[in-house]
Every structure is written in C-alpha cells, then in structure tokens.
Amino acid sequence: MSQPPPHTSPRDPLRLTVLLSLAFAVLCSVRLTIPSAPYFDEVHYLPAARALLDQSEWLNREHPLLGKEIIAAGIALLGDGPVGWRIFSVLAGTVALFAFSRAMWFASCSRFASLAFGILLASGFTLFVHSRIAMLDIFMVCFFAIALWQLAGAMREPETGRRRLAVAGTALGLAMAAKWNAVPLAVIPGAGFLALRAFAGRRRLLMSRRGMPLPGMTLLEAGLWLGLLPLAVYWLTFLPAYFFTTGALQPGGFIALHREIMALQSSVIKPHPYQSNWPDWVLNLRAIWYLYEPVDGAQRGILLIGNPFTMLLGLPAMAWCLWAGIAQKRWDALAVLVFFAASMLFWVAVNKPIQFYYHYFLPSCFLLAGLSLALDALWRRGNRWAAGGVVAGSVAIFGWFYPILSAAPLAGPQSFNHWMWLDSWR
C-alpha cells in the first residue's frame, strides 16, 4: 500500500469515477445493436446461452458456465436480439472500469493515479471492444476487478476487512467461473496473505490476528474467504449443468469434467490467421478483426488491438514499478508488477497451441495500472504537462481509431487502410 504524500489530504475521486464510468457506459451503448447478427465468437456463446435457457444440450463445454449464464440472463430479460446478447457486457465493462479505479484509489491513495487509470482503461481499446460483444472475457475481468477493489479496500480500511474479503472471495470464484484465465491470479491474494504473515515471524501463524495485511484477521479465517469460498462459488455456477437433457453433468463427475475441459482447450491445433503469442501482445503487433464486412447497410469494422500509444509506454512503466517497488518500497507498484508478471507467465508456460490477442486483456489492464502509477510519480514531481499529456494522448488515439472500434459506417472496403499503421494489423 502506498502512503499519501506528507502534508496533503487527498480527496477521494469517487464522484468523478462514477461520472467516468457512466460516460463509458453511454459510449459503449452507441451502435450496440450493430451488427444486428452475431459476430466473431458470439456464434459460439449465443447458442450455448440459448441451450442453457431451455436446458436442451450442453454446448461449448471447453469453458465454464458462468459467462454463458450471464448472456442467457440478458436474453431472458431483453429478448434474443443484439440488446439482450450484449447488455450485460456493457454493464460488466462499466463495473470493471469503476472497480479497477477504486482498487487503484485504495492501493495508492492518489487521486491522479485513480482517475488516470480509469481514463487509460476506457481509452485503451480492449475494454471498450469487449464491453460491446457477448464474449466471456469481459465477465472474467469484471469479477477480478471487483476482487482487487475489495482486497485493496480491506487493507486500507481494516475495520471493513471481513466483509470485503467475503466479497473478494466470491468475486474470485466468479472470475474463475467466467473463464479460466483468472485461475493463476486467483491464488495470489491468499498466497500474499500467507507470505506477509510468515515474514512477520508470528509464533501462532494460523491464529495470530496481528500484522499485515489485515490486522484483526487470522490466517485461518483468510483461508476461508480467499480459498474455500472461491472454490465453493465456482462449483455453484455449474449447478445448471446437472439438469441438461443431453450431456448433463453426472453426480461425482465434477473432477472428470475439468479433465475434459483441459483436453478440449488443448485440442485446437489448426492454425488460425489471427493467432498470435505473448511477444506479439506485448509489442502490440498482431490485431484481430472481430468484424470487417458490409453489414446493416454499410461497410463496418471492429478491430481488437491495444491502444498503440499506451501499450508501448506501459512497458518502461513496468520497469519503473520494479524499481519503485524495491528502491522506494512502493508496494502498490510492486503488486501491479506481480499481477502483470503472473498473468503473462501463465501464457508463456501454458500448453495451449493456438492463442489470440484477447488473452492479453487482463495483463494489459495491469500494464495500464503500472503506467498510471508512473505518471502519478511524474505528476507529484511537478511534471504535470508530461503526465497529463500521456492521458490526453491516449484519449486522442482512441478518438482516431473510434470508427473501427465501434462499427461506424466506413466509406468502402479499403477504408481499413486508413488505420493500418502496421502490416501485421491487417
């Protein structure tokens, strides 16, 4: 946790964070119904959501159920059309933006870092694109952001620790139940709690209530909230699987199901024109066209790539996080680095033959968190034009790419060349 600078009383940017989140929701809602037909991976998740509603057949078994359950809820509430398919993605993206910003506030106690992080996320391309499509990634990111918000809040306000850890544990379980990308990160909060208590050298390691990260709570109780509760919540999201007409989950088959999911994840080996791997993600080299065709009366496109300005600036910012964490004992910067490194090492080591840029979604959020902390250091040293200029530059680049992020009508089939700074984005 970062401490406020001396002789200052930072004001909580809660109201501005709410306004930023609402503005983001409005922006995501523009042309939400375009394309009016399913596109990209919606063609997999929408049939699975419909099958959940009528309990006919268990489709898309290679992923957990929660994301498809949320999409199914949207269809049940608002109909089997574009609004029903995508409305909960807009809500999840909005909540993710708010939760990440609040996590930054509680971790850094910096008004500038919190607001800068929110703006960088909103203009970072990836959150915006995934907040407008019925895919699983946005739900995973949303729940993990809620967990981080509550964990940082518990450390800043220990009197609320028990309630916040219960919410965090629930959110961690839901993040894993949305998509397995969250699994390697979900163990970090509990492992961190254990490490901090162990380093404190407490004789009664399991039962001591003293010391970081949460005075007043034992390690045993933290294990309940951050270990057992997430696993229980994760299992509960699979309850509908026991009631499918075809391919239902059998009692006692939960462990075998996960072996099946792992096999299905590894079975996709056919090369794909949009496949990429982690060096491509880090250097922002390989884009994915979620849509590029004449649809709904015009040529339209939706491109997934990171904001080329902030994705590259974020790399030296992560080096700064390492230096600040060690030299200045900036635990907020060090925590961001740990989450970024863990989320990237997973993809370096995982045995998944075909990978895509959207797997960088969650790591890129930590990258922007590190950039916001580095910019905050500039801001505090008086280099406000530089710090503010980066934030403004991110918004400007977002505005330039907005037509091919939001399915705006384009002039013709070759319009995409206007934005193709690299041939590898084509």
Least confident of 65-69, 212-216, 245-249: 212-216
Each domain of the chain, given as residue ranges in start order, spans: 14-425
Residues with Cβ < 8 Å from 265, sequence gap 6 or more?
A: 62, 180, 352
Cis peptide, bond prior to residue 4, ω within 30 of zero: no
Average pLDDT for 255-281: 84
Q: Dihedral (C-alpha) 395, 399, 404, 407: value to the nearest 10 degrees? A: 110
Q: Which residue has the tokens 């066209």?
A: 289
Structure tokens at 128: 């915006």
Structure tokens at 129: 């694109």
The reported pLDDT for the residue numbered 286 is: 92
**Which is nearest to 301 in space by CA: 137, 417, 424, 423?**
417
Share of the chain above pLDDT 70, in %: 96
Which helix (H) or strand (E) element contains residue 220? helix 219-223
pTM of the full structure: 0.94
The reported pLDDT for the residue numbered 273 is: 82
- Measured between alpha carbons, how far is residue 57 from residues 33, 50, 70, 191 in Å? 27, 9, 17, 38
Structure tokens at 341: 């490194």
**Which is nearest to 121 in space by CA: 98, 137, 143?**
98
The reported pLDDT for the residue numbered 117 is: 98
**Which is nearest to 103 in space by CA: 89, 94, 113?**
113
- Report the alpha-carbon angle 370-374-378, nearest 5: 165
The reported pLDDT for the residue numbered 367 is: 98
Alpha-carbon gap, residue 335 to 373, rounded angstroms: 11
What are the helix and strand counts (H, E) for the chain?
Answer: 18, 2
> In the chain, what is the straight-line distance between the N-terminal and C-terminal CA atoms, in Å?
42
Alpha-carbon gap, residue 396 to 294, rounded angstroms: 27
The reported pLDDT for the residue numbered 6 is: 44
Residues with Cβ < 8 Å from 164, sequence gap 6 or more?
A: 150, 151, 153, 154, 157
Q: Is a pLDDT exceeding 70 seen at residue 129?
A: yes
pLDDT in tens, 218-237: 888 889 999 999 999 999 99
Alpha-carbon gap, residue 206 to 226, rounded angstroms: 14
pLDDT in tens, 317-328: 999 999 999 999
Q: Is a pLDDT exceeding 80 seen at residue 268?
A: no
β-strand partners of 292: 301
The mean of the pLDDT values for the chain is 92
pLDDT in tens, 165-208: 999 999 999 999 999 999 999 999 998 888 887 776 656 777 77
Amino acid at 32: L
Alpha-carbon gap, residue 333 to 324, rounded angstroms: 7
Alpha-carbon gap, residue 282 to 279, rounded angstroms: 5
Instruction: Spell out a b/e string for 401-413, using b for 16 or more CB atoms within 10 Å of the CB, else e.
Output: bebbbbbbebeee
pLDDT higher for 181 or 271? 181
Which helix (H) or strand (E) element contains residue 293? strand 288-295
pLDDT higher for 198 or 211? 198
Axis-axis angle for helices 111-122, 82-108 (nearest 10) = 160
Any idea how long the chain is? 426
Cis peptide, bond prior to residue 35, ω within 30 of zero: yes
The reported pLDDT for the residue numbered 2 is: 60
Which helix (H) or strand (E) element contains residue 310? helix 308-327
Contact 303, 419 (CB under 8 A): yes
pLDDT grade, residue 271 (50/70/90)?
Answer: confident
Helix/strand/coil for 305: coil
pLDDT in tens, 353-402: 788 899 999 999 999 999 999 999 999 999 999 999 999 999 999 999 99
Contact 231, 173 (CB under 8 A): yes
Indicate if the alpha-carbon torsion angle 297, 273, 83, 115 is positive or negative: negative
Q: Which residue has the tokens 């400007």?
A: 396
